[in-house]
Structure 1
Amino acid sequence: MDFSWTDRQQAVYDSVLAGARALGGTASRTPAAVRDHWRACAELGLTGLSVPEELGGRGYDAVTTARAVEAAGRGCPDMGLLFSVLAHLFATVMPIAEHGHDALREELVPRLADGTAIGANAITEEGAGSDVTALRTTAERHGDHYLLNGAKSFVSNAPVADLLLVYAVTDPAFGFLGVTCFAVDRDTPGVTVGDPFDKPALTTCPAATVTFTDAPVPATRVVGRPGQGAALFQSSMRWERSCLFAAYLGQMSRLIEESVQHAAAREQFGQPLAAHQAVSHRIADMKLRLETARLLLYRTCWLLDRGEHTPLDIALSKLHTAESAIQTALDATQLFGGSSFSTRTDIARALSDALPARTFSGTSDIQRELIAKGLGL
């Protein structure tokens, strides 16, 4: 097994890291502010990392994509912005790029890949979170179009989105095999986007409820085939649960660097914090979690590129990376003490932004279920 990076992968990492450090972040959630930062992310290629070159993307494989995402997470402390961009890429653009018919791909993917248009994934509902088979949004066929009715909740990017990837029931009798995926323009009659939610975490990723009232969608906007929606969603999750979480590897790297610097510079009881085992061992554990998460994540991406991945591999990577990100951020707040909650550091923000990792893209409990099933339990 070769654990080294290719020259290209290292060059991608260095370039994205430098650009991400220049990104900074913003506390503003206005559409204008979001789009300004999106343009900067698009210039780094983040909106099209894994999109085929012929469709306007960078054409990176999963390992190289994750390497770029890790660099972004290390360089940019605004995880809300990165989550916004990466959810767009993995949960909206990639399903269309991989499963859409040629005309749909050519129409939509290039402007999504270059960041001209913003995408949002609309699957979660009030009564259908982990249980995606409980969807209530329907799409009824009428000649050459469908009428969408229902409501989606917690739709990341919805307040600024140009395109919504909507999962709706087209044949209730077939359960999860009766779910279809649609590419829906934001300005479609009958589509209503609610006010942005106030959130304590990932605050710069705007989210809202979206309702559909007899919203007409051409049959040509079906992504894949009717009834293939559940499979398409799982396909997008293989990208999101692996590559998106590389941003948390970057965040953990940054927190460890800041913790080492703080422990060396800060004195208590007449000696540096680093001289106290309670501190140095905590940082050692932070490093151990990072490296084990990194190994699992890149192994999973390597398997994805070889077509040898299983749900077990992806679940192990997602679960361990999410839980490690949370614990590492908790440890950093402990090391920095009261100063972690001041405006001089991003430690508290890192903690609040790590906590949702346990929930989105499939909860930690769902990942444990997938692992158990993978073990034959």
Structure 2
Amino acid sequence: MNFALDPETEEMCTALSGFARHKLDPPERFDPDEFRQRWLLAGRQGVVGTTVPEEYGGLGAGAVTAAALMEALGSGCRDTGFTFSVGAHLFACVMPIVEFGTEEQKRRWLPALASGERIAAHGITEPEAGSDALGIRTRAVRDGDHYVLNGEKCFTTNSPVADVFVIQAVTRPGGGFFGLSTFLVEAGTPGLSVGPHYDKVGLRGSPMADVHLADVRVPADRMLGSEGVGASVFTASMKWERTCLFAGYLGAMRRVLESTTEYARERRQFGAPIGSFQAVGHRIVDMLLRLESARLLLFKAAAGIDAGSQDEVAPALAKLAVSEAAVQLGLDAVQVRGALGILDGEAETLLRDALPSRIFSGTNDIQKNNIARALGLSRR
């Protein structure tokens, strides 16, 4: 077992972290034009097309390299929302095209999505279908050489700035796992509209809104994969997302752990650095333990993807470990700083950004259900 990244990947990570630190600082308030400018900068660094094959304009990297680069991006970029948006674009939208798209679809969409010229959004969650992904109500009805889509999507990451939407819809009501299909829908298609930008407790740098579909006509050749394989497309994308996207949190956690450790060395109370007090020192050790343990699980899952493993437990465990560690590390970082921790700053920002991680990509409770089912513990 080799826990070291190869020298080329290490060099890429170092360069990306430095680039993100100097070029991807977030503005005071979200601005869509400024967001797109940073997105293009990230695209030129290859970040938004890491796992896209080279023939379509990407880096052609595997999951381990993608996770390492996401970790570097999270470390250098103080806007975890931006890092999250990059991960959602790449792993929930672009990878389905890589894995399920036709040659024509790949050549049409991947180059611009990999370069940062275009941004993608994934529409799966609905007001009445969150954890129950197979319970979505958006319908796609065949009409000649088109499908007509009607429905509502919510909590759709990148939707206010997206150029293309990966939409899950029901093509066979009552068909369960085989009743869903996936469509590529361009922004500006008549009948597709995006609601107001959400105000969120965390990940404020990631634009999110509702998506409305009213008699949206989509050419049949925009279906991703064949009819009825939408659930398979979704499952495959979540394998990538639950592993590689969460590597961004590893980088953010590392950044905050380092600043917290430095603070504990410099802050003096009762005539001594607060890090010399056992209560504070042990808290920081626990922060490091959670980070390193979660990191091992995540890179193990990434190595499994590269090896072609169909294991669904490893990505679920990685998602669980990273999200829970991020929340607790944020709490600890606030606690070590005392009153300063509840002011606007790095510690409270991480805590706010970490809270949604227990919800998206399948809630942590759902992950435990999935793991229990894989262990043969679920009820019929």
Length-normalised TM-score, structure 1 = 0.98
Aligned to 1:373: 373
1:96 aligns with 97
Q: Does 1:340 align with 2:344?
A: no
TM-superposed deviation, 1:59: 0.7
Q: Percent of aligned positions with the same letter in both sequences?
A: 46
Cα distance in structure 2, aligned partners of 1:118 and 1:103: 19
> Which residue number in structure 1 is paired with residue 257 of structure 2?
256
Partner amino acid, structure 2, of 1:365: D
SS in 2 for 1:210: strand
310-319 or 277-286: bigger deviation = 310-319
CA distance in structure 2 between the aligned counterparts of 1:27 and 1:85, rounded to whole angstroms = 20
What residue number does 1:125 align with? Answer: 126
Partner of 2:241: 240
- Per the alignment, in what secondary structure is the counterpart of residue 204 of structure 1? coil
CA contact (8 A) 2:149 2:218 kept: yes
3-state DSSP of counterpart to 2:168: strand
Runs of 4+ in 1 over 3 A off after TM superposition: none
Helix, strand or coil at the partner of 1:4: coil
Indicate conservation of the 8 Å contact 2:51/2:61, yes or no. Answer: yes
SS at match of 2:75: helix
1:300–1:309 CA contact under 8 A, matched in 2: no
Aligned twin of 2:115? 114
Following the alignment from structure 2 to structure 1, what is the Cα–Cα distance between the partners of residues 274 and 310? 43
8 Å CA contact 1:27–1:204 kept in 2: the answer is no
Query: 1:3 & 1:255 partners in 2: Cα distance?
Result: 23
Question: Do 2:253 and 2:350's aligned partners in 1 also have CA atoms closer than 8 Å?
Answer: no
C-alpha distance in structure 2 between counterparts of 1:44 and 1:335, whole Å: 36
Matched letter for residue 31 of structure 2: T
Cα distance, 1:280 vs structure 2: 0.2
* Alignment-derived partner of residue 55 in structure 1: 56
**Distance (Å, rounded) in 1 between the aligned partners of 2:12 and 2:46:** 10
Distance 2:102 2:262 in 1: 52
Q: Distance in 1 between matches of 2:317 and 2:235?
A: 16
Residue 134 of structure 2 corresponds to residue 151 of structure 1: no
Whether the 8 Å CA contact 1:52–1:59 is kept in 2: the answer is yes
Deviation at 1:308, TM superposition (A): 2.1
Partner residue, 2:216? 215
1:316 alignment counterpart: 317
Q: In angstroms, what is the RMSD of aligned CA positions?
A: 1.0
Secondary structure, counterpart of 1:241 in structure 2: helix
Q: Return the alpha-carbon distance in structure 2 between the equivalents of residues 339 and 43 of structure 1.
A: 37
Distance 2:327 2:343 in 1: 19
Q: Contact between 1:77 and 1:350, CA under 8 Å: does it hold in 2?
A: no
**Unaligned stretches of 5+ in structure 1?**
none
TM-score (normalizing by structure 2): 0.97
For the 8 Å contact 2:256–2:346, the answer to whether it is kept is no
Q: Which residue of 2 aligns with 1:16?
A: 16
- Pair 1:43-2:66 in alignment: no
Deviations 1:237-284 (A, max 9, x none): 111000010111111111110111000000111111011100000000
Aligned length: 376
- Counterparts of 1:108 and 1:309, CA distance in 2: 27
Offset from partner CA, 1:192-234 (integer Å, 9 cap, x none): 1111111121111111111111100000000011100000001
Looking at structure 2, the residues matched to 26 and 309 of structure 1 have their Cα atoms a distance apart, in angstroms, of: 41
Are the aligned partners of 1:122 and 1:155 in contact in 2 as well (CA < 8 Å)? yes
1:217 match: secondary structure: strand
> Displacement of 1:366 after TM fit?
0.7
Pairwise CA distance, 1:26 = 2.1
Amino acid at match of 2:46: G
Structure-2 residue corresponding to 1:361: 361
Q: Does structure 1 retain, via aligned residues, the 8 Å contact 2:125–2:153?
A: yes
CA contact (8 A) 2:75 2:254 kept: yes
The CA distance in 2 between the partners of 1:85 and 1:306, in whole Å, is: 24
> Once the two structures are superposed, what CA deviation does each residue of 1:166-188 show, in whole Å capped at 9, x if it has no partner?
00000113122110000000110
8 Å CA contact retained: 1:46, 1:86: no
Q: Shift of residue 309 of structure 1?
A: 4.3
1:10 aligned partner, one-letter code: E
Aligned with 2:156: secondary structure?
strand
CA distance in 1, matches of 2:154, 2:305: 30
Rounded to whole Å, the distance in 2 between the matches of 1:160 and 1:77 is: 20
